Amino acid sequence: MKLTGKAWKFGDGISTDHIAPGRLFHLRSNLPELAKHVLEDARADFAPNVKPGDFVVGGRNFGQGSSREHAPTIIKMAGVSAVLAKSVARIFYRNAINVGLPVIIMDTDRISEGDQIEVDLAEGVVLNRTQGTTHAIPPLPLTMRKILSDGGLVEHIKKHGGKLGLD
């Protein structure tokens, strides 16, 4: 499946407090409402204008901070097809796989705001249609590939009869 959309650029060190801030703590059991504010404190123009298929393009250490899984969940709920970043904080990365949000680690300096991006996860390629550049995605470790291809951890557990199918 090919993912296509435009690039929304973010800087280095985007934290979970930018993505799903504590001041909206009371919305954590109301994810559709929380998703309307996704990344609001980093870019106020993002949530109202993001289109299904678009990409969040970050810098270093994207998603640093809290373990709140609500952060990758609401990025996915906003219609974002993948996060592209130079590096990603450990817990955010794990959570993103668990909720079925692809995260691609790559040099994002060559992507500009609004570039048309196409990602082919099966082929492992990021194509920047605006710049005419391609980037090969290194394969994920098998454990994470299994969870992601099952559609996240919930679907993985269901598929494996209530167990972790990783042994």
Partner 1 sequence: MGKTISEKILSAHAGYAVKANDIAVVDVDLAYVQDGTGPLTVRQFKTMGFTAVPNASRRMIYLDHASPSPRRELSNDHKFLRDFARETGVILSEIGWGISHVVALEKYVNPGDVVVGADSHTCTGGALCAFATGMGSTDIAVAFGLGKTWLRCPETFKMRAEGRLPKGVYSKDLMLHFIGLIGAEGANYKAVEFSGSAIRALTMDARATMSNMAVECGAKVGLIGIDDVSLAWLKLHGRAPKQLPDLEPDRDAVYERVIEIDAEKLKPTLSCPHFVDNTRTIDDVERVRVDQVFLGTSTNGRIEDLRIAADILKGRTVKPGTRLIVTPGSREIYAQAAQEGLLQVFVDAGGVVTGPGCGACVGVHEGILGDGEVCVATQNRNFCGRMGNPNASIYLASPALAAATAIEGRIADPRDHVK
Residues in contact with partner 1 by the rule CB under 8 A:
13, 15, 17-18, 21-23, 25-30, 41, 60-61, 64-70, 87, 89-91, 94-95, 98-99, 141-143, 152-154, 157-158, 162-164, 166-167
Least distance from partner 1 to the Cβ atom of residue 90, Å: 5
**Cβ closer to partner 1: 5 or 72?**
72
Least distance from partner 1 to the Cβ atom of residue 87, Å: 6
**Cβ closer to partner 1: 51 or 158?**
158
Least distance from partner 1 to the Cβ atom of residue 54, Å: 23
Tokens of 117: 């991006």
Least distance from partner 1 to the Cβ atom of residue 83, Å: 15
**Cβ closer to partner 1: 85 or 121?**
85
**Cβ closer to partner 1: 88 or 119?**
88
Identify the CA nearest to 58 among candidates 32, 92, 24, 34.
92
**Cβ closer to partner 1: 119 or 147?**
147
Tokens 């679907």 correspond to what residue? 155
